[in-house]
Amino acid sequence: MADLHERNPHSGLYDFDALVKSLPELEQAVVSNPTGEKTIDFSDARSVFLLNKALVRYYYKVENWQIPEGYLCPAVPGRADHIHYAADLLGEYTGGDIPRGRKVHVLDTGTGAGCIYPVIGCGAFGWKFTASEIDPLSLKMSRLIVQTNPSISKLVKVKQQKQKQFIFRNIIEERDFFDLTVCNPPFFASQKEAVEANREKWRKMTGEESPGNLNFGGMENELWYPGGEAAFIGKMIRESAEFADQVNWFTSLVSRKENLAILEKQLSREKTAAFKTISMSQGNKNSRLLAWTFMSESRRQSLADKYKKA
């Protein structure tokens, strides 16, 4: 896959031979494209899951990884890009050296059933994670992933968000300090909008009409939020000000470019010390990483001393 972050191991073509060796189940999903290269049918949910499961196992050494039927299967290459670009923020005053190890503490807001950001962050950098989740089944599955994989079991804590009106409240405790927060926010404003977008995507991928009954299962918290992506991130920005002294950098994916202007204006109103938008590209998909901090430059420089020792 082209245009990924230079550290992202998922650039270029997938090594299907290595991936199948790691996860033999994947072999049943491998097909050849018109040029004879190995690939999968990306319109088939089972094939997409098996590919991502193989990536998780091969690159991040997480053997037991499952997604409940009807839940979103995260695209590992794109999520890895978020982690690597967010990591660059911590290299701001370390000469670009990315801190590694459990001294770096990351909060994953809405980790989902696959607990994917902790899986990648632990595998790539050995970071420590707190992962929040509100959906009961996603909470159960993410905890199961953590508990059954020794490579991450001592690095990740999954916490339940019991009140859907809050994002950071109830999760960030008085003595907590996080070096980063990461989030893949809900994209759509309603179920209707999500259904229509899903049908359009299906038509583009297959040239056919999508199945009449689309099963979103537990995707509600992952896919839509009243007011859509801009409203969710806007709420996150407002709430982040309450924890200004407890987080170095807040970050969130922004899928819709048109949302940036209003979000950047809001960040200016909240009197952040700095904010930036980082462009990312995964093949034919463009997205952005919005990052902001309330920490002064001198405070961020002092934190770099901790990172150099991490």
Tens-place pLDDT, residues 118-162 = 999 999 999 999 999 999 999 999 999 999 999 999 999 999 999
Whether 287 has a pLDDT exceeding 60, the answer reads: yes
Mean pLDDT for 100-120 is: 97
Phi-psi bin for 158: left (phi > 0), alpha (psi -120 to 50), beta?
A: beta
Residue-wise pLDDT tens digits, 216-265 = 444 666 675 777 899 999 999 999 999 999 999 999 999 889 999 999 99
Residue-wise pLDDT tens digits, 29-48 = 999 998 999 999 988 889 99
pLDDT for the residue numbered 304: 86
Whether 213 has a pLDDT exceeding 50, the answer reads: no
pLDDT for the residue numbered 66: 96
Backbone angles phi, psi at 4, to 5 degrees: -80, 165
Please give the Cα distance from 124 to 22 (Å, whole number). Answer: 18
Pick the residue with more confidence: 215 or 125?
A: 125
pLDDT for the residue numbered 217: 43
Q: Are 158 and 146 in contact (CB under 8 A)?
A: yes
Distance from the Cα of residue 264 to its chain's centroid: 21
Please give the Cα distance from 180 to 89 (Å, whole number). Answer: 9
Beta strands in the chain (DSSP E): 30-32, 38-40, 105-109, 128-133, 156-160, 178-183, 247-254, 274-282, 285-293
Q: pTM (2 decimals)?
A: 0.91
Token digits of residue 308: 């150099």
Whether 19 has a pLDDT exceeding 60, the answer reads: yes
Please give the Cα distance from 190 to 220 (Å, whole number). Answer: 9
pLDDT for the residue numbered 199: 64
pLDDT tier for residue 198 given thresholds of 50, 70 and 90: low
Q: C-alpha angle with apex 76: 73 to 79, nearest 5 degrees?
A: 105
CATH topology of domain 75-309: Rossmann fold (3.40.50)
Looking up tokens 């009197």, which residue turns up? 271
Q: Taking all residues of the chain, what is their mean pLDDT, rounded to a whole number?
A: 89
Whether 215 has a pLDDT exceeding 50, the answer reads: no
pLDDT for the residue numbered 281: 86
pLDDT for the residue numbered 7: 95
pLDDT for the residue numbered 206: 57
Backbone angles phi, psi at 276, to 5 degrees: -150, 155
Mean pLDDT for 266-288 is: 91
Domain boundaries in the chain? 75-309
pLDDT for the residue numbered 226: 75
pLDDT for the residue numbered 269: 94
Residue-wise pLDDT tens digits, 169-195 = 999 999 999 999 999 998 765 566 666
Nearest to 182 by CA among 290, 261, 260, 284: 290
123 Cβ neighbours under 8 A, 6+ residues apart: 59, 60, 61, 62, 151, 152
Distance from the Cα of residue 154 to its chain's centroid: 20
Whether 61 has a pLDDT exceeding 60, the answer reads: yes
